[in-house]
Structure 1
Amino acid sequence: MNNSPMNSPAAISWLDRVGNWNPQLLREIRGKLKLRNLIVAISISLLFQIILLLFYSQRIPSEECYAQVRGFGCAKSWADWWLEQFRFITWTEPFVLFLAGVYSLISDISLEDYKGTLNFIRISPRSSISILMGKIMGVPLLAYIGLGLVIPYHLLAAINANVPIAFLLSFYVLLIGTAFLLFSGAILLALLSGWQAKFGGQVTAGALVFSFVTFVWIVPAFMWWNIFTAWSSFSKVLVGGRINAIQAEWWYLPITSNIWTSHIFTVVNLVILSLAIWRILERRFHNPTATIVSKGQSYLVTLYLEILMLGFCIQSGFADKGFYGEFQFLLMLFIYIANFFVFLAAITALTPQRQSLLDWVRFGALSTTEEHPSGFGYILRDLIWSDKSPAPIAIAINLLITQLPILVWVNSWNNAEMRSRALIVIASFAISILILSLVTQLILLLKNRNPSAWATGTVSALIFLPVLIMLSLSITPERYAGVWLFFGFPWVVVANIKLSDIILAFGGQIFVIIALSLQLIYQLQRAKMRET
């Protein structure tokens, strides 16, 4: 006899309606809502609430509170007693929701990919949005139920602690919006990672890694960003004291001046980032061999990220600082570091594999058949827009998109010395990224057993190995500034580098770019000859 709560006629009718709307959600419900799982989820939620209530029963306000020490002390008033419980639940819910969702989604999709069932889902007539939304709604279903049972306790504590309902609404709106963005990113990482095909039963390793990142970075960032912006007027509710909102501007717009601008800025960026991730999910779900993003999408994404980051550097309050020149240069270095990771991701997302390049050589602008027009203009168009064409030209365009606004900003600086240092850093960054892009494309064009691993290892070696070698050989930045600049570490030597070192370093890097470009052209020509 099946003890599942799914067997009653009312449940069957309800499930039929859910199945007609989203079959994937129905599949997840049938898999997750077993009677045993449901009892465990409800029991854990109720046990949490009971333990919390028992703990705070030791802090019930009493007239003898200050006359004797008993247990953990007691609250000053009933309002403070309820406020402490409200605060604890408010800080706990993001950790539970984000960790449970990230771990369950990555683990579930990785396991399905390892077992091969994900391929059957891919051939479903339903859209990728419907399938993946079913995953987001259904996979962490037990966590949703457990947290849903805590909401009445949370609401009761808020009412008795005189917490504004506006804060409660803001908290859950931002919590749900951030959770949706984070869960979408978790699905994307699970689809892109590919560890499930290599490590078999150890598919939960990746889920644990990203859960750890969520625990130590994402959840605290979510809470503290909102405390210092959207929730600054409610800071006493969250941390027990008054915290003034940071005086942040974005392109001179005061985004933390009031609660509405803070919410609008946060929600708009959550929506934009979620839409960007879902565009990638739509692209990759039914075509896992395609590049992560199209070249056209990459131009929009890098432009958005650059406008977002650079906007925080354009603030009227910075002009009052006595060390404004050095401060501007420091901000530019932060953007440099962020852009470095953005372009590592762009190289990974845009660089096609060997088979895609061979298809482009055979059927793209390089083909010489009558069906395809030839000429430099068509080749350049393919290099800019075709997803199967080599990536370095698209990377160069992305560099142009990101560096032009920074150049305009740098040229507005009043400090000529800092301006010249910044220009050296910008030039070194652009050249270094082009070299990494060309190296990655050449490695992926080779016929290797695992080209992605080779490309990752080579790029990592190019980033870290020169530093280790130079330090072990006592090649110090003070004496060999040109060498450090050649290997892409301008911030170490930019303060005391000579013009001759700059010319030699950049000249050597440009020579490397030319050599790698010629080698890539030669390899493509060889591939074309073999194909024809």
Structure 2
Amino acid sequence: MVLKGIDRLGNWNPQLLRELKGRLKGRNIAIALIISLVGQFLLFFSWSGDHPRRHLSELEIQLWWQDHYRDIFISLSLFVLFALLVIGSYMLIANLGHEERRGTLNFIRLSPQSTGQFWLGKLLGVPILLYLAIAITIPFHLWFGLSGKITLTEIISFWVILIASSGFFFSAALLFGLFGSWFSGFQAWLGSGAVFAFLLMANFKPIDNSSFDWLSLFSPSVLFPYLVNETNSRYTGFPFHLGKIQAWQFFNLPLGMMGLSIVVLTLLNYGLWTYWIGQAFNRQFRNPGTTLLSKRQSYLLTACWITFTLGFALQEPTSGYSYPFPDNFYIVLGLNLVLFLGLIAALSPQRQCLQDWTRYRHQNRSTVNSSLIADLLWGEKSPGLLAIAMNLMIVVLPLIGWILLESVDINVKLQAFASLILSLIMILIYGAIAQLMLLMKTSKRGIWATGIVVAAIVLPPTLLSVLSIFPGQSWGGLWLFTAFPWDYVMRHASVGLVLQAFLIQVIILGGLNWQLTRQLRRAGESATKALLAGRLPLSN
């Protein structure tokens, strides 16, 4: 019977069977279970010392124990959340990096199993001992929750969101693990550390009626105020400070009024972004030389991104803390900068792809010149700069509508327009720099592209700050040429200075594009000459 079950499992998902056979050893299972039980008992006994010494009435004793069990429930939930997501991410990244270094990953790519089978096998198989350790906490978790007067439906909703969050973070970990060779074995610590830092940020961030409220949807602890029925006042209880969560809105809809609406939108958020990570993983796993996303996929992803960032920005001011329109608008610009840095990395082809594309255009110039724009917008191997510009347009149109409809002074609207235009041109400049770096002949061109773009973003504001050149001071206009020109535009910039900065940025962008076109033409001509000479061009 057991052998039949194993055979069926192997036929259904060979990768999962491979992972389970390597991990489900008696000694490993015993260690995982002992660690889980010891951890739970230590947690329980650490709370037991808080029993009040003074005499209480029977009713007071009952209420005290109810609050006490509720606090233990939240503590155990927090422990499970961080243990599962952080340790699980570490295990998956380390495992994929190990596969890459051993060379077995390329063998798996050539096997008949689908990418979905590989992905599911890794997700279910690699952290299997962690899953067993977490499963042992369920009876205690249920007991503490029910004893704390938390309903079974609420407890189940937490576990459903925790499972959805695992799918998101673990899928992101697998995608990150595909680039393991870049970090020489350090990627597992880097990736799991990033997950830990992100969860801390998402959990500690209060609801403040800005686009930053979107980050709270990525943390299962967003349900804690609803589980303990502390949504009517500023939630400052253990373990986090979420603020007045009832004021949370999405496109002015009262998202925070009901726990059910939080559960539904959180699951939708996790499902949507897990899907996009899966699309990138599928492309990168099957063909490591291709871009992470197709240009068509990037347009849809950008539409999803601006929907969420703008949805949380369009909130009615409340009696609590709320950002004014300019600050909220600049938060949206900052989040969009994060998006486009990712798109630059996801849409910029490597040198070999660009060589193939330019060779194709040189050999078929009479038939493809008319479709150059379409090729740049939709082609798999064409440069990604025009596609990045198209994604910028997808973002710009809703933001322009927001600026026009916002009830603010005309000068504030003009400042927002100026900040938007300058920010978009700087993003195109970063995209052109990245594509030029990816045309280098060195094998480390990806690292060079990443380093140069990061330096172009980080170094200018850092140097200006070190030199005590701040907006409003002499030479403060240099902030207009950084990735963060918003404060200077809002407070100090004149129309003439903004126009000068715009013209200089356009000249820089034009020069980079001219150089990019020149490099592409040279790469195409050299590849074509080598082909006509009867020899293959050297791979770089």
Question: What range describes the TM-score normalised by the shorter chain of this pair?
Answer: 0.7 to 0.9
SS in 2 for 1:181: helix
Match of 1:21 in 2: 12
Distance in 1 (alpha carbons) for counterparts of 2:46 and 2:470: 59
Match of 1:518 in 2: 514
Q: Deviations over 1:212-249 (max 9, x none)?
A: 43563456651443335x64746699947998533222
Match of 1:413 in 2: 406
Match of 1:5 in 2: none
- The amino acid of 1:86's aligned partner reads F
- The amino acid of 1:518's aligned partner reads W
Q: Equivalences for 1:198-209 in 2 at 5 Å?
A: 199=184, 202=186, 204-209=188-193
User: Contact 2:150–2:228 (CA<8 Å) still a contact in 1?
Assistant: no
Q: Does 1:374 align with 2:333?
A: no
Q: Does 1:502 align with 2:495?
A: no
Match of 1:3 in 2: none
Ranges in structure 2 where 5+ consecutive residues have no aligned partner: 205-215, 529-540
Q: Given the superposition, is the C-alpha separation of residues 33 and 339 from structure 1 closer, same or farther in structure 2, using an over 3 Å criterion?
A: same
Q: Deviations over 1:66-116 (max 9, x none)?
A: 159xxxxx9865544543432322221111111221111111111111111
Distance in 2 (alpha carbons) for counterparts of 1:59 and 1:180: 37
User: Contact 2:389–2:428 (CA<8 Å) still a contact in 1?
Assistant: yes
For structure 1, which segment, 92-101 or 79-88, has the greater mean C-alpha deviation from structure 2 after superposition? 79-88
User: Contact 1:352–1:389 (CA<8 Å) still a contact in 2?
Assistant: yes
Q: 1:189 Cα shift?
A: 1.0
User: Contact 1:24–1:134 (CA<8 Å) still a contact in 2?
Assistant: yes
Q: Does 1:390 align with 2:378?
A: no
User: Contact 1:75–1:81 (CA<8 Å) still a contact in 2?
Assistant: no
Q: 1:278 Cα shift?
A: 1.1
Q: 1:122 Cα shift?
A: 1.3
Match of 1:116 in 2: 103
- The amino acid of 1:329's aligned partner reads P
How many residue pairs were aligned?
A: 504
Q: Equivalences for 1:131-530 in 2 at 5 Å?
A: 131-195=118-182, 199=184, 202=186, 204-213=188-197, 216-217=200-201, 221=216, 222-227=219-224, 231=227, 233=229, 239=237, 245-315=245-315, 317-318=316-317, 327-363=324-360, 366-369=361-364, 373-375=367-369, 377-414=370-407, 415-471=409-465, 475-478=469-472, 479-494=474-489, 495-530=491-526
Q: 1:165 Cα shift?
A: 0.9
> Normalization by structure 1: what TM-score?
0.87
Distance in 2 (alpha carbons) for counterparts of 1:522 and 1:486: 25
Q: Given the superposition, is the C-alpha separation of residues 472 and 185 from structure 1 closer, same or farther in structure 2, using an over 3 Å criterion?
A: closer
Match of 2:211 in 1: none
Q: Given the superposition, is the C-alpha separation of residues 474 and 167 from structure 1 closer, same or farther in structure 2, using an over 3 Å criterion?
A: closer
SS in 2 for 1:272: helix
Q: 1:439 Cα shift?
A: 1.1
Q: 1:409 Cα shift?
A: 0.6
Q: Given the superposition, is the C-alpha separation of residues 351 and 233 from structure 1 closer, same or farther in structure 2, using an over 3 Å criterion?
A: same
Q: Deviations over 1:276-301 (max 9, x none)?
A: 11111111111111111111111111
- The amino acid of 2:341's aligned partner reads L
- The amino acid of 1:122's aligned partner reads R
* Aligned-pair identity (%): 32
Q: Given the superposition, is the C-alpha separation of residues 124 and 108 from structure 1 closer, same or farther in structure 2, using an over 3 Å criterion?
A: same
Q: 1:305 Cα shift?
A: 0.4
Q: Given the superposition, is the C-alpha separation of residues 322 and 204 from structure 1 closer, same or farther in structure 2, using an over 3 Å criterion?
A: closer
Q: Equivalences for 1:75-94 in 2 at 5 Å?
A: 77-94=64-81
SS in 2 for 1:256: helix
RMSD: 2.9
Distance in 2 (alpha carbons) for counterparts of 1:103 and 1:262: 28
User: Contact 1:436–1:459 (CA<8 Å) still a contact in 2?
Assistant: yes
Q: Given the superposition, is the C-alpha separation of residues 323 and 223 from structure 1 closer, same or farther in structure 2, using an over 3 Å criterion?
A: closer
User: Contact 1:361–1:524 (CA<8 Å) still a contact in 2?
Assistant: yes
For structure 1, which segment, 468-477 or 451-460, has the greater mean C-alpha deviation from structure 2 after superposition? 468-477
Q: Given the superposition, is the C-alpha separation of residues 87 and 454 from structure 1 closer, same or farther in structure 2, using an over 3 Å criterion?
A: closer
Q: Deviations over 1:149-176 (max 9, x none)?
A: 1111222223333321111111111111
User: Contact 2:376–2:386 (CA<8 Å) still a contact in 1?
Assistant: yes
Match of 1:12 in 2: 3
Distance in 2 (alpha carbons) for counterparts of 1:234 and 1:13: 51
Distance in 1 (alpha carbons) for counterparts of 2:188 and 2:471: 43
Distance in 2 (alpha carbons) for counterparts of 1:423 and 1:31: 58
> Normalization by structure 2: what TM-score?
0.86
Q: Given the superposition, is the C-alpha separation of residues 254 and 162 from structure 1 closer, same or farther in structure 2, using an over 3 Å criterion?
A: closer
- The amino acid of 2:273's aligned partner reads L
Q: 1:210 Cα shift?
A: 3.4
Distance in 1 (alpha carbons) for counterparts of 2:257 and 2:49: 41
Distance in 1 (alpha carbons) for counterparts of 2:467 and 2:198: 39
- The amino acid of 1:126's aligned partner reads Q
Q: Deviations over 1:424-444 (max 9, x none)?
A: 110111110111111111111
Q: 1:45 Cα shift?
A: 1.7
User: Contact 2:313–2:332 (CA<8 Å) still a contact in 1?
Assistant: no
Q: Deviations over 1:298-335 (max 9, x none)?
A: 111111100111011222x23x88999x8111100100
User: Contact 1:232–1:244 (CA<8 Å) still a contact in 2?
Assistant: no
User: Contact 1:104–1:207 (CA<8 Å) still a contact in 2?
Assistant: no
- The amino acid of 1:160's aligned partner reads S
Q: Given the superposition, is the C-alpha separation of residues 11 and 435 from structure 1 closer, same or farther in structure 2, using an over 3 Å criterion?
A: same
